[in-house]
Every structure is written in structure tokens, then in C-alpha cells.
Amino acid sequence: MKQAFLKFGKDDSLRRYHPWIFSGAIHHFSKQPEEGEVVEVYAAKQKEDRKGFDFEYIASGHFQIGSIMIRVLTFEHEDIDQDFYERRLASALQMRKAVGLVGREDSTSFRMVHGEGDNLPGLVIDVYKKTAVMQAHSVGMHVDRFVIAKALKNVMGEDLENIFYKSETTLPFKAELGQENGFLLGGSTDDIATENGLKFHVDWLRGQKTGFFVDQRENRSLLQKYSQGRKVLNMFCYTGGFSFYAMRGGAELVHSVDSSQKAIDLTNANVELNFPNDPRHKAYAEDAFKFLDRMEKGAYDLIILDPPAFAKHKDALRNALKGYSRLNQKAFEKIAKGGILFTFSCSQVVTKDNFRTAVFTAAAQARRKVRILHQLHQPADHPINIYHPEGEYLKGLVLYVE
């Protein structure tokens, strides 16, 4: 196994079990590794006579060209093989069982692996009924995809029949891996899953993420409790998750908006699955900002703003915060008196404080009195590694607007 040797003093974060090693921390390699290859990492330790350095093992991880050059898989001397992945996957499954997400008849969807949160950086696995949709966000996890698939099947047994690999849009572009989506196990086309008793189609081939946003499960349930008798606007609806929860909650009407016609078609299909021929729902394929501009003030008294990530890297943070302020200001200006706003950010580089400041700025500019009812976050099957606070990506606020 090839070795990476760190510069002196660049091992502090690893001593605190942070799973990323940046390119600037590396002094040299024993031999240049291939992308996706597992390398051993050695920290520089000054000799007692202060004449030179010794090196001691500190971690092993996947090498990848880029700013984050090594994603740490283990801080112990162990082989990264099928047994390793089976142990990590078994641990991830046990946690989901502990929080009551496995084996439920009313919910057949959950996140099985959440990257660094499950000590498997670069890997995401969502389960829908007996199908697992696997995404690699690093070259290393792509290289190991077949080993991981075997390990996953061994861990889940009869509860798993299909593994669909979907990493065409998540792998580093510069790696030029040319990966296409496809089944690694099985090939079932049964795409209907359930969440809290509601049904939804999962488009794991063309849909965003793994086909459905399972991270909003608890927040959708909360929305349902506030929907009775309200006129609901679901912006950036994607597949309509918030919409059919609002309908079950007794909403007077529900309007879904997304710029993608495919998303609108899927939203309509999901609403029809749960509330066939229900006249309360209408969907619009339209730009969110244009829709908010043209809509009448007071037309809705419950609005959901769940946009895609406005910032995927730190360089885009400033413009992202402006975007969140502008979007929320429009909602504050148009929402009815006594209305409730569910507003979210899924941008990892946007902190809770960043997001709150952007929303508070929007409220002030709209000159509305606003109170916080709830502060929302990602659910238990999207755990945050205590040593990797960057994993807290989903932020949300439920606001009462006078």
C-alpha cells in the first residue's frame, strides 16, 4: 500500500478524528497513487534530538486529486476490503434499527449510509422498499462499488433485492470515469415506496439525488399538522412530498411549483397515488421567482420554500445568501397575515447562523413581524459525525408571520 507523509504539524485535525486531509497538508507520497486508491497516512514526529523527523501511522483513506486529497476510512491499521465494508454497513443498519426506521410497514424508505456521518466518506445509500440506490461522491467509493454492493447484500440479506448504482452526476467531473447509471444487483422496476403511510414514485434513473428527498420526512410530518384549512404553496416542489402531506393534513388547496416539467409530472403522479381526482391540487411548471412576483398578496397562508443548494462551495456563499434573502423577502411580502412559512437551506457551506441572518434580513426588508415556531434540521438517518460538523447541511425555520 502506498503511503502519504504529512507535513510537520498538519496532523492536528486527524488527532481529533476529522476525516478529511487537504492537499496542502501532504509533504510527499512514497509513490504517486492512482485516483481512488487506498493509501496509508503517516504523521511527522520530531526526533528527540530535534534533528529530523520520524513518521508514525495515523490513518488510511481514499486518495483523490483535488482540495480534499484523502478521505479517511479508518484510524486503525486494517484492510479496506469486503469485511471492512460489512462491519461499517452493519453498524449503519443497526443505528437505523435503533431509531425505528427499519421494518416498518407504513414507511419503506430511509437513508442507509450518510457519508462521513456513518464513517464512510463519499458514499450515500438510500433504501426504498427492497431496492437500495447507491451514490459515490468520491472516486474511491466508485472504485469499490462492486465490493460495497456485495457487502450490502450480505448485511441486509432478504430485505434487499436490488441495488441501483447512480453516480453519473455525483462523481468528480475531472476524473473522467464515464460511469453510467445501472443495476449492480437485480433489476426490478417497482418504483413505488411509502413514507408514513403515503405513497410516492421513485425515479432513481432521472430524478435528483437518489430519486426522493428522504431527509425531509420529519419536516413533512410537521407541515401536515399545520395544514388544516390552509391555502398552501409548495415552491421548488420536486416530486411533491410536502404537497401530499399538506393534503392529508386537511389543506383547503395546495399549489405546487417547480421549474422542471418532469418534476411537475412526477408531483401530479404522486398526488394521484394518494388523492386520486382531488380538485384541491394544481401544479405549475414555472420559475419560482417569477411565480412569486405575479401571485397576489394574501393568496396563500402556508408557504414552503425548499430550494436546491444555492451554494455548493465557499466561493458562492455571498451570492447564495443574497439569493436566500431575496427569495424569503418575496414570500414575506406575499404571505397572508397569520401565515406560516417553512423555509430551508440544504447548502452545506451555509451555516445555521448564515441562514438565519439571511431570513431575518428578508423579514426586516419586507417589514413583517415574524416569530420562530421551530428550528428544523436533518433526520436521524442523516447523522452528523461529531468530529465532522460540516455534515450538518440541512437547516430550516418555521415562522409565524403577522
Q: What is the 3-state secondary structure (H, E, C) of 325-379?
A: HHHHHHHHHHCCCCEEEEEEECCCCCCHHHHHHHHHHHHHHHCCCEEEEEEEECC
Q: Which helix (H) or strand (E) holds 70?
A: strand 68-74
The structural domains of the chain, ordered by start, are 3-74 (2.30.130.10), 82-194 (3.30.750.80), 214-401 (3.40.50.150)
pLDDT average, residue stretch 371-398? 96
Instruction: Give the Cα-Cα-Cα angle 34, 35, 36 (nearest 5 degrees).
Output: 110
Other Cβ atoms within 10 Å of 310 Cβ, number = 20
pLDDT average, residue stretch 142-146? 95
pLDDT average, residue stretch 297-310? 94
Q: What is the pLDDT of residues 249-284, one digit of tens each?
A: 999 999 999 999 999 999 999 999 999 999 999 999
List b or e across 175-206, with b for residues whose CB sees 16 or more CB atoms inside 10 angstroms: bebebeeeebbeeeeebebbbeebebbbbbee
Q: What is the pLDDT of residues 37-90, one digit of tens each?
A: 999 999 998 776 666 788 999 999 999 999 999 999 999 999 999 999 999 999
Instruction: Flag whether pLDDT at 179 surpasses 90.
Output: no
Nearest CA to 151 among 140, 163, 138? 163
Instruction: Flag whether pLDDT at 344 surpasses 70.
Output: yes
- DSSP code for 34: P
Q: Which helix (H) or strand (E) holds 143?
A: helix 139-143
pLDDT average, residue stretch 109-133? 96
pLDDT average, residue stretch 379-384? 97
Q: What is the pLDDT of residues 223-244, one digit of tens each?
A: 999 999 999 999 999 989 999 9
Instruction: Flag whether pLDDT at 394 surpasses 90.
Output: yes
Q: Which of 235, 346, 363, 398 is the catalytic position? A: 346
Instruction: Flag whether pLDDT at 177 surpasses 80.
Output: no
Instruction: Tell me the percentage of the chain whose pLDDT exceeds 90.
Output: 83
174: confidence class by pLDDT, cuts 50, 70, 90: low
pLDDT average, residue stretch 306-314? 81
> Is the model more confident about 385 or about 205?
385
pLDDT on residue 167: 86
Phi-psi region of 122 (alpha: psi -120 to 50; beta: other; left: phi over 0): left
Instruction: Tell me the percentage of the chain whose pLDDT exceeds 70.
Output: 97
pLDDT on residue 175: 62
Q: Is 346 a catalytic residue?
A: yes
Other Cβ atoms within 10 Å of 66 Cβ, number = 14
pLDDT average, residue stretch 362-386? 97
pLDDT on residue 173: 63
